[in-house]
């Protein structure tokens, strides 16, 4: 029976494919296809790992102390039995490998999801609780597989190499931003998560992949089963499970239309972003990793407007990258951009971007019921000065190789501004004393907290430029946790207060002759292009995938005629409707009435 699940739209377009359910704790399990001639070796790898675990369990049992409760030995027997359960575990896992060409880890976790669902539906409480045992057994085999490794992973193989294979959609309760990153070159054609808001960092990374995604779909991972056919309507935030043939056909049609529209837009790729009245607009790229510069250049970016350096710090088992490793990463980005400016934002760790799973748990305990208001971004950097200076030195060293701008996130206090410059001066002095080559940087502040807008003249005195982080500015202005889907309906970029904060920042920066950019998600949303242009913005930073629709709006805009539009939107109680009315005479008449 077909079911519809509603969530929040993250990334536009339509995806159609089979569900791959992944438990949040196992999202980092490798998912890749193996070539046909590797199937046998992969099955052997699976069997070897199973044998290793079997010996492990047997050893554990033999080494149990004499006074151990006898239930423990019985439990280990149950684990041994589950491990060798041909019908439920071994055979179906083998089939995922043989028939679908999944790698062993993926095959195993796919089968685990199937079993977990069966256990959840059992009436008998005792049997239901055996789910935890199956999970433990599978975790052991997964660990044995990763220790034994030996996998023949050819990263070049993707779903497209398996013409006969169905496209795949990833479904998980939650995916961390770092885990999302590993899907950058993945086999999935769409993503669905139960939790998350439109501008949660998971959603931002999903959007950068430019494939349809829905977050905050609450019940999705419970309702959807492994292998179900799914449609993701990324524009509406809708997921259709097990669609009827008619609905499927309708969406296939929309998918083709979307594809044609994208192809049409690619013609704009090499066009300069200039408005009808000759205003040049700078389009910069938001990146997470140095290798994203390739997509930035391909899209025609004039530089990097936001390098979210915290992604270098994630999933490192508590060992953040040292100065040298960071320098190598920043140098790679600077060199790849061939003389175009690279804006490196100092680490914005915390909130929904924990360094790794253990620090996520730590954060939960460290009074951080709402980590968005806690020790995040510059607050974290200033509380770890040695680490902060190491990052600043790495950035200054990269600046010897090309134009680098330094961007500081989440500032609100003047004392933080001073402390930041103190750290920067000390980092520079350390490099000078050690005779390490380094360059100069221009320094900018992210405007993400309403307090910063209210004391903007101070910021403009200290900084060379400002960059408006609308994702956080909205979160902090409206007191809405941007990752919490239960208040997502209140997260409103069209809120008049938000628009006034943005307008005021642009106006003050322009009057002071300081550069101003928007690097939050609003910059990449074509709905806002005219409004931001009308407010005087000439520098937009967004994921390269968002360039063309925004550029199309820029090319059609006449800034000399936008003042009335800004006035209409800013004076309206319904700014979004007032904005839409611009292109809809009927709506304009209705609003006037
Ligand atoms: C923002 O807050 O708008 C921003 C660009 O920073 P981030 O999304 O990484 O918090
Ligand atoms: Mg931010």
Note the pLDDT tens digit of each residue in 522-536.
999 999 999 999 999
User: pLDDT tier at 159 (50, 70, 90 boundaries)?
Assistant: very low
| Mean per-residue pLDDT, 80-99 | 94
pLDDT of residue 519 exceeding 90: yes
Q: What's the pLDDT score for residue 557?
A: 97
Cα separation, 252 vs 423, whole angstroms: 55
Fold of 3-24+155-264: Glucose Oxidase; domain 1 (3.50.30)
Please give the distance, rounded to the nearest whole angstrom, from the Cα atom of residue 375 to the centre of ligand 2. 13
Q: Architecture of 36-147 per CATH?
A: Orthogonal Bundle (1.10)
Residues paired with residue 170 on neighbouring β-strands, in sequence order:
20, 191
Q: Which atom of ligand 1 is nearest to the CA of 377?
A: 10
Tell me the mean pLDDT in the region 269-282.
Answer: 96
pLDDT at 352: 72
What's the pTM value of the predicted model, to 2 decimals?
0.85
Q: Say yes or no to pLDDT of 357 above 70.
A: no
- The correct answer on CATH 3.40.50.10310 for the domain covering 269-561 is no
Amino acid 43: pLDDT:
95
Protein residue with its CA nearest to atom 6 in ligand 1? 469
- What distance in angstroms lies between residue 204's CA and the mean position of ligand 1's atoms? 9
Exposed, middle or buried by CB within 10 Å (0-12, 13-18, 19+), for 149? exposed
Q: Report how far Cα 367 is from the mean position of its chain's Cα atoms.
A: 25
Residue 369 binned pLDDT confidence (cut-offs 50, 70, 90): low
pLDDT band of residue 149 (cuts 50, 70, 90) is low
Which tens digits make up the pLDDT trace of 382-416?
Answer: 999 999 999 999 999 999 999 999 999 999 999 99
Query: Which token pair is 67?
Result: 């006074």
Percent of the chain, pLDDT > 70? 93
CA-nearest residue, atom 4 of ligand 1: 469
For 245-272, what is each residue's pLDDT tens digit? Answer: 999 999 999 999 999 999 999 999 989 9
Cβ–ligand 1 distance for 524 under 6 Å, the answer: no
Residue 67 or residue 359, greater confidence: 67
Q: Please check the confidence at residue 313 and state whether its pLDDT lies above 70.
A: yes
Ligand 1 proximity of 308 Cβ (cutoff 6 Å): yes
Does residue 566 have a pLDDT over 90? yes
The pLDDT score that the predictor gives to residue 343 is 98
The response to whether residue 354 sits with its C-beta less than 6 Å from ligand 1 reads: no
In the chain, where does the domain assigned CATH 3.20.20.60 lie?
269-561
Q: Which mutation among 450, 469, 474, 528 tests ligand 1's pocket best, with the greatest number of atoms within 8 A of CB?
A: 469
144, 53 contact by CB (below 8 A): yes
Question: Is the per-residue pLDDT at 163 higher than 60?
Answer: no
- The pLDDT of residue 263: 92
**Distance between CA 567 and CA 564 in Å, rounded?**
5
Residue 574 has pLDDT above 70, yes or no: yes
Q: Is 287 in the pocket of ligand 1 (CB under 6 A)?
A: no
What's residue 194's pLDDT?
Answer: 92
Summarize pLDDT for 193-245 with one digit per residue, the tens: 998 888 888 888 888 888 899 999 988 998 999 999 999 999 999 999 999 99
pLDDT at residue 434 above 70?
yes
Tell me how far the alpha carbon of residue 445 lies from the centroid of ligand 2, in angstroms.
Answer: 11
Q: Which ligand is nearest to the CA of 518?
A: 1
Rounded CA-CA distance 201/178 in Å is: 9
Residue to mutate, 203, 348, 473, 523, ligand 1, most ligand atoms under 8 Å from C-beta: 348
Q: What is the pLDDT of residue 484?
A: 86
Q: Flag whether pLDDT at 540 surpasses 80.
A: yes
Question: How confident is the model over 63-83, as pLDDT tens digits?
Answer: 888 877 788 888 889 999 999
- Which one has a higher pLDDT value, 62 or 344? 344
DSSP string, 12-77: -SEEEEEEEEE-GGGTTS---B--GGGHHHHHHHHHHHHHHHHHHHHHHHHT--TTS-HHHHHHHH
Q: Which of 410, 360, 470, 295 is nearest to 24 (CA)?
A: 360
Q: Where are the alpha helices (DSSP H) in 512-584?
A: 529-534, 547-556, 563-570, 575-581
The mean per-residue pLDDT over the stretch 124-147 comes to: 86
Q: How confident is the model at residue 94 (pLDDT cuts 50, 70, 90)?
A: very high
Ranges in the chain annotated CATH 1.10.274.10: 36-147
Q: How far is the CA of 35 from the centre of ligand 1 (A)?
A: 40
For the CA of 287, the nearest ligand: 1
Cα three-residue angle 70-71-74, rounded to 5 degrees = 95
**Res. 486: pLDDT tops 50:** yes
Residue range 436-456: average pLDDT? 98
Q: Which of 471, 477, 516 to mutate to test the pocket of ligand 1 (most atoms within 8 A of CB)?
A: 471
| Predicted pLDDT at 55 | 94
Q: Which has more confidence, 33 or 254?
A: 254
**DSSP string over 427-466:** HHHHHHHHT-----EEEEEEE-SHHHHHTHHHHHHH-SEE
% residues pLDDT > 90 (the chain): 67
Compute how many other C-beta atoms are within 10 angstroms of the C-beta atom of residue 152.
14
pLDDT of 169 over the 50 cut:
yes
Grade residue 123 by pLDDT with cuts at 50, 70 and 90. confident
Give the distance (Å) from ligand 1 centre to CA of residue 404.
Answer: 19
The whole-number average pLDDT for the span 377-386 is 96
Report the range of poorest mean pLDDT among 158-162, 210-214, 358-362, 373-377: 158-162
Q: Which residues are catalytic?
A: 201, 519
Half-sphere exposure of 453 (CA within 13 A, CB side): 23
- Whole-number pLDDT of residue 155: 45
Token pair in block for residue 584: 């809809």
The more confidently predicted of residues 473 and 481 is 473
What pLDDT does residue 206 have?
83
Neighbour-count burial for 282-293, b at 16+ CB within 10 Å, e otherwise: bbbbbbbbbebb
- Residue whose CA lies nearest to ligand 1 atom number 10: 472
Instruction: Check residue 102 and report its DSSP letter.
Output: B
pLDDT, mean over the chain: 90
Domain with CATH 3.50.30.10 in the chain: 3-24+155-264
543: phi then psi, degrees, rounded to nearest 5? -65, 140
């Amino acid at each position: 029976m077909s079911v519809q699940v509603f969530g929040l739209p993250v990334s536009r377009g339509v995806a159609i494919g089979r569900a791959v359910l992944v438990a949040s704790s196992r999202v980092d399990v490798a998912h890749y296809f193996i070539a046909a001639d590797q199937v046998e070796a992969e099955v052997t790898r699976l069997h070897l790992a199973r044998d290793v675990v079997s010996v492990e369990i047997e050893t554990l049992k033999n080494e149990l102390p004499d006074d151990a409760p006898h239930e423990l030995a019985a439990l280990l027997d149950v684990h041994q039995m589950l491990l060798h359960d041909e019908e439920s575990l071994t055979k179906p896992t083998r089939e995922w490998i043989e028939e679908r060409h999944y790698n062993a880890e993926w095959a195993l976790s796919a089968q685990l999801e199937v079993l977990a669902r069966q256990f959840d539906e059992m009436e008998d409480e005792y049997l239901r609780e055996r789910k935890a045992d199956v999970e433990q057994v599978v975790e052991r085999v997964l660990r044995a597989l990763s220790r034994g490794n030996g996998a023949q992973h050819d990263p070049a193989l993707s779903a497209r190499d398996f013409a006969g294979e169905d496209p795949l959609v990833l479904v998980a309760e939650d995916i961390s931003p770092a885990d999302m990153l590993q899907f950058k070159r993945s086999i999935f054609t769409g993503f669905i998560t139960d939790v998350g808001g439109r501008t949660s960092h998971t959603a931002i990374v999903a959007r950068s992949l430019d494939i349809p995604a829905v977050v905050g779909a609450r019940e999705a991972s419970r309702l959807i089963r492994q292998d179900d056919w799914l449609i993701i309507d990324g524009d509406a935030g809708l997921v259709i499970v097990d669609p009827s043939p008619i609905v499927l056909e309708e969406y296939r049609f929309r998918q083709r239309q979307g594809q044609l529209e994208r192809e049409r837009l690619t013609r704009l790729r090499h066009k300069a972003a200039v408005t009808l009245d000759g205003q040049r607009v700078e389009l910069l790229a938001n990146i997470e990793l140095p290798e994203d510069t390739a997509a930035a250049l391909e899209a025609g970016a004039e530089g990097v407007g936001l390098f979210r350096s915290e992604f270098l710090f994630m999933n490192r088992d508590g060992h953040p990258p040292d100065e040298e490793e960071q320098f190598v990463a920043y140098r790679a980005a600077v060199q790849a951009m061939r003389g175009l400016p690279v804006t490196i934002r100092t680490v914005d760790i915390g909130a929904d971007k924990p360094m790794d799973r253990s620090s996520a748990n730590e954060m939960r305990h460290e009074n951080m019921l709402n980590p968005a208001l806690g020790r995040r971004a510059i607050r974290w950097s200033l509380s770890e000065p040695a680490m902060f200076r190491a990052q600043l030195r790495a950035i200054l060293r990269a600046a010897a190789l090309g134009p680098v701008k330094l961007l500081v996130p989440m500032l609100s206090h003047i004392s933080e501004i001073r402390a930041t410059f103190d750290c920067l001066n000390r980092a520079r002095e350390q490099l000078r004393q050690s005779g390490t080559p380094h360059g100069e940087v221009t320094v900018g502040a992210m405007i993400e907290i309403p307090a910063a807008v209210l004391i903007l003249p101070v910021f403009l005195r200290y900084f060379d430029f400002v960059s408006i982080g609308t994702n956080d500015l909205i979160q902090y202005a409206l007191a809405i946790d941007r990752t919490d889907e239960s208040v997502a309906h209140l997260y409103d970029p069209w809120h008049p207060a938000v628009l006034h904060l943005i307008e005021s920042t642009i106006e003050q920066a322009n009057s002071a002759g300081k550069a101003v950019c928007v690097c939050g998600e609003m910059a990449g949303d074509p709905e806002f292009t005219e409004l931001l242009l009308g407010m005087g913005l000439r520098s937009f930073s967004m994921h390269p995938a968002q360039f063309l629709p925004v550029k199309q709006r820029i090319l059609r805009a006449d800034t000399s005629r936008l003042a009335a539009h800004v006035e209409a939107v800013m004076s309206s109680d319904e700014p979004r409707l007032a904005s839409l009315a611009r292109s809809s005479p009927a709506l304009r008449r209705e609003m006037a009435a």
